[in-house]
Structure 1
Amino acid sequence: MPPPHQTPTDPAGDDTVDLRVDELVALLAAGTPPHAPGGSQADGDLLDSVADWGRTPTPFGDFQLLPVRLDKDLRLLTAWMNDPAVAAYWELAGPDSVTAEHLRAQLEGDGRSVPCLGVLDSVPMSYFEIYRADLDPLARYYPARPHDTGIHLLIGGATDRGRGVGTALLRAVTDLVLARRPHCTRVVAEPDIRNTPSVSAFLGAGFHRSAEVDLPDKRAALMVRERTLRHSP
């Protein structure tokens, strides 16, 4: 289902989802707008340049996050969103326009969420959203800390599900977040509590189940991985 930062009916006026003043001042002082002309997120100001995080090894091969290019990646992502196992939780099944609208909300936004292809040994096989949980509507539902970073994940192909790939990728991406975002002290996620495989994957990747929260579109398990637990087995 659409993540909280895509919810179109969020009440106005809640400053937890506005660009924080100190960060905006810092961006303007550096001569960098909150988002690049034309909605480009290449600079990655709010998320420390996801595009530059590079490759990382996993038990299944070398992995890399590549920010989505709508013109190039839309057909593949639409196919994944129409997989019944994915559609049950993302609720984005339908024509290209449905997936495109979901992606544009991020690509043309202020950079608080970056949609990415997950590429394993040069093969696109998953979709990630790396987002600023502290600047997201999610922050209304838990005690957010500055620079909390959130993760949404789907595995594109059925052959990559149920054999530990999701767990390995979540661990790798969380390690990347904590390595590349020095101000981030923890990574959070909010899978639907009914999505047992997803919750299990986060637990296997070193997250703990902090609470259950009622979001506008689901009851979620709030999963948290602290920086101090980064190297835990």
Structure 2
Amino acid sequence: MTTSTEDFAVRQTIYAEELPGWGSLRIVPLIPSEDIELVHQWVSQPRARFWGMTEKSREEVQGIYEFLDSLDTHHAFLVILDGEPLALFQTYEPLHDPVGEAYPAREEDIGMHLLLAPATRPIPHFTPRLATSLIKYMFSVPGKDRIIVEPDARNAKALRRLEATCFELGPIIQLEEKEAQFGFLTRAGFEQIQAEQSTR
């Protein structure tokens, strides 16, 4: 089954924000059985090699996301802008993930993964503005005050995005499937950045 714009319009909204000059941004739950064609198309492209699914079949990808959907600690979402899906966004509880064994994880931590869809049109300052909205959502989750990211250490583009979004880079650590670069952003640090930007 292929999801249509109309399907996204009626899907439960986890977070919404009106972005001047962009339109209406929404975060909605990923439904594996309905969204698999879209997601498999994204993750199987060479540009998504660091996502780790380029060789996986449609059925394998759907199985992975159905497993995630069964967990209370891991969540997958689509980011929608005016009806158009623009990104695959995942959050997780580091204390309930292998990542939590690689650093002193806390209940207040929330981890994230982000895969941008292939661009269909130019959107000025897309990545930093999208990241700001996702960060706002994660800090709206009760009890969370620090965001954890661990992209592949070879993914230079992702590392540049982190630094542009004011994440503090931590150690490089070895996970089962990759050598990862830790990055951290605290609620206090994000609020300070927002305050500084508002006075410019």
The question of a shared fold, defined as TM-score above 0.5 by the shorter chain, is answered with yes
AA aligned opposite 2:98: P
> Percent sequence identity over matched residues?
22
Q: Would you say the 8 A contact 1:191–1:222 is kept in 2? A: yes
Number of residue pairs aligned between Structure 1 and Structure 2: 180
Q: Give the 3 Å change call, closer, same or farther, for CA 186–172 of structure 1 in structure 2.
A: same
1:218 to 2:167 alignment: no
CA distance in 2, matches of 1:132, 1:78: 24
CA distance in 2, matches of 1:213, 1:71: 34
CA shift, 1:205, in A, is: 1.9
Q: Would you say the 8 A contact 1:134–1:149 is kept in 2? A: no
TM-score, normalization by structure 2: 0.82
Runs of at least 5 residues in structure 2 that lack an aligned partner in the other structure? 1-11
1:130 to 2:91 alignment: yes
Q: Would you say the 8 A contact 2:14–2:28 is kept in 1? A: no
CA distance in 2, matches of 1:163, 1:85: 21
CA distance in 2, matches of 1:152, 1:162: 21
Q: Which has the higher contact order (CA 8 A, sep 6+)?
A: 1
CA distance in 2, matches of 1:90, 1:74: 15
CA shift, 1:108, in A, is: 1.8
Q: Give the 3 Å change call, closer, same or farther, for CA 160–205 of structure 1 in structure 2.
A: farther
Structure-1 residue corresponding to 2:162: 202
Q: Give the 3 Å change call, closer, same or farther, for CA 216–161 of structure 1 in structure 2.
A: farther
Where 2:88 maps in the other structure, the secondary structure is strand
TM-score, normalization by structure 1: 0.71
C-alpha root-mean-square deviation of aligned residues, in Å? 2.0
CA distance in 2, matches of 1:219, 1:160: 33
- Counterparts of residues 43-192 of structure 1 (less than 5 Å): 53-58=14-19, 60-86=22-48, 88-93=49-54, 94-109=56-71, 111-159=72-120, 164-178=125-139, 180-192=140-152
Runs of at least 5 residues in structure 1 that lack an aligned partner in the other structure? 1-50
* Runs of 4+ more than 3 Å apart: 57-61, 158-164
